[in-house]
Amino acid sequence: YAGAEKWVPRDGGMRKLRATIGDCRGCDLWKDAERSVPGEGLVRARMMLVGETPGDHEDKEGHVFVGPAGQLLDKALVEAGIERSEVYLTNAVKHFRFELQGKRRIHKTPSAGQIDACSPWLQRELAIVKPDLVVILGAVAARSLMGTGFKVTERRGEAVKLPDGRAALATVHPSAVVRSQNFRRDFAQFVDDLRTAASLLD
Ligand code: URA
Ligand code: SF4
């Protein structure tokens, strides 16, 4: 893929970013998705949470984390004492990737090539928001932000640094908790990681 570089504005703020992202042709995901879904939340947030890609609901509604994973994330944020309105929420990849099964659109994990193609948008959001802490939600966000070789399963809940030195903490993706066979345990661990993240900001 050519990558998003060419479409990402070099200057300006969130308004300009949001106005240009729909034109991106940095990989092939724009073709089948309904729309691009940029991040949302407080532009001056101290905490930025980075998920994977919009899902079916997000693609239809045009907002991040409004489907089942988003509802779980909302509950976990409340339990961890974090206000959704005070953070910035985004995804590593801005268009929905899916496979058709009959009429149903089944989420597919974006490829490494698509994650890397879309990373200039995420990097631009980081440059605009300048969060003090980035919460990495799952392996796709980890690939985008930490490169290859970083294993969320081994490092979750730990204070780490992005390659640019910014403070970060990795945890699982909320959709992994939604699907968990041991929901109570995995939800509690997810909340614990978010609490740790909040404590890093104190
Ligand atoms: N999963 C994500 O990673 N992001 C969303 O916006 C929704 C589900
Ligand atoms: Fe551009 Fe990212 Fe959409 Fe690919 S997924 S077309 S790189 S915005």
Among all bound ligands, the one having the nearest atom to the CA of 124 is 2
ipTM: 0.96
| Cα 108–chain centre separation | 15
- What pairs with residue 99 in β-bridges? 106
Mean pLDDT of all residues in the chain? Answer: 98
Q: Round to whole Å and give the CA distance between 168 and 28.
A: 30
The pLDDT of residue 58: 98
**Mean pLDDT, range 126-134, rounded to an integer:** 98
Q: Round to whole Å and give the CA distance between 87 and 97.
A: 25
Instruction: Please give the distance, rounded to the nearest whole angstrom, from the Cα atom of residue 8 to the centre of ligand 2.
Output: 10
Question: b/e string for 4-30 if b means 16 or more Cβ within 10 A?
Answer: beebbeeeeebeebeebbeebebbebb
Which atom of ligand 1 has the smallest separation from the CA of 89? Answer: 6
User: How many CA atoms, within 13 angstroms, populate the side-chain half-sphere of residue 136?
Assistant: 27
Q: Round to whole Å and give the CA distance between 85 and 73.
A: 13
- Ligand 2 atom 2: residue of nearest CA: 118
Q: List ligand 1's pocket residues with C-beta within 6 A.
A: 51-55, 58, 64-65, 67, 69-70, 91, 175
Q: List ligand 2's pocket residues with C-beta within 6 A.
A: 4, 21, 24-27, 29-30, 36, 93-95, 117-118, 121
104: left (phi over 0), alpha (psi -120 to 50) or beta: beta
Which atom of ligand 1 has the smallest separation from the CA of 141? Answer: 3
Among all bound ligands, the one having the nearest atom to the CA of 63 is 1
The closest of 136, 42, 25, 43 to 91, measured between CA atoms, is 136
pLDDT band, very low/low/confident/very high, at 202 (cuts 50, 70, 90): confident
Among all bound ligands, the one having the nearest atom to the CA of 111 is 2
Contact (Cβ atoms closer than 8 angstroms) between residue 160 and residue 147:
no
Question: What residue ranges in the chain does DSSP mark as E strands?
Answer: 40-41, 47-51, 88-91, 98-101, 104-107, 133-137, 159-161, 167-171
| Residues sharing a CB contact under 8 Å with residue 9, sequence separation 6 or more, in sequence order | 16, 17, 20, 124
The pLDDT of residue 42: 98
Instruction: Please give the distance, rounded to the nearest whole angstrom, from the Cα atom of residue 48 to the centre of ligand 1.
Output: 14
Which class is domain 5-200? alpha beta
| Per-residue model confidence as pLDDT tens digits over 25-77 | 999 999 999 999 999 999 999 999 999 999 999 999 999 999 999 999 999 99
- With H, G, I as helix, E, B as strand and everything else as coil, classify residue 69: helix
pTM of the model: 0.98
| Per-residue model confidence as pLDDT tens digits over 68-104 | 999 999 999 999 999 999 999 999 999 999 999 999 9
Contact (Cβ atoms closer than 8 angstroms) between residue 95 and residue 33:
yes
| All structural domains of the chain with their residue ranges | 5-200
